[in-house]
Chains A and B, each alone.
Chain A
Amino acid sequence: AQSVTQPDIHITVSEGASLELRCNYSYGATPYLFWYVQSPGQGLQLLLKYFSGDTLVQGIKGFEAEFKRSQSSFNLRKPSVHWSDAAEYFCAVAAVDSGAGSYQLTFGKGTKLSVIP
């Protein structure tokens, strides 16, 4: 079964500073990987996803993530954080049921991002 580890429960950065949120996964084959953001009391919004191809993936809101197979990682980055980026971020991995072309997501426990003005 697949699993996702987000080692950092809470990260605080200053506005304008760079950001990297860590995500490690465990899965026997090439995974589908996702990053979602959740604002307080809200549902999840998809930031970006990796299915195949270029290992550096660009997402919305200026985020990017890099798939590193050798490290089983899919870290999320942003060069300059804005106060509105304060939220909780979830990394997720999907195991692909190749027969049906469908998949289910397994989520990490999330990393809460606080931004200091």
Chain B
Amino acid sequence: DGGITQSPKYLFRKEGQNVTLSCEQNLNHDAMYWYRQDPGQGLRLIYYSQIVNDFQKGDIAEGYSVSREKKESFPLTVTSAQKNPTAFYLCASSITGGNTIYFGEGSWLTVV
């Protein structure tokens, strides 16, 4: 089945550690995105990538890093510099020139 796969679904991290969230899509979409969702709030854009080997900061990029070495993959690293990393993270993708994006099922990150 085509879709966006995020892993892991649940992740616990100790303070001071980096952690990487995986996002893979087999929809042949060129553009991929990472959003953060906090309880009772909307989604905020962390990073996005329109093509392989290129990405741009979103509205809340500080403390995060990404890479886009393959079209299908857009991993997000939550670094120790992110002051409040506990949140629900959503990966998304869209076709070239398309303005409709589709989401993965999300990853819960909890800092303990």
| A associates with B | no
Interfacial residues, chain A to chain B (CB-CB below 8 A) = none
Chain B interfacial positions (CB closer than 8 Å to A): none
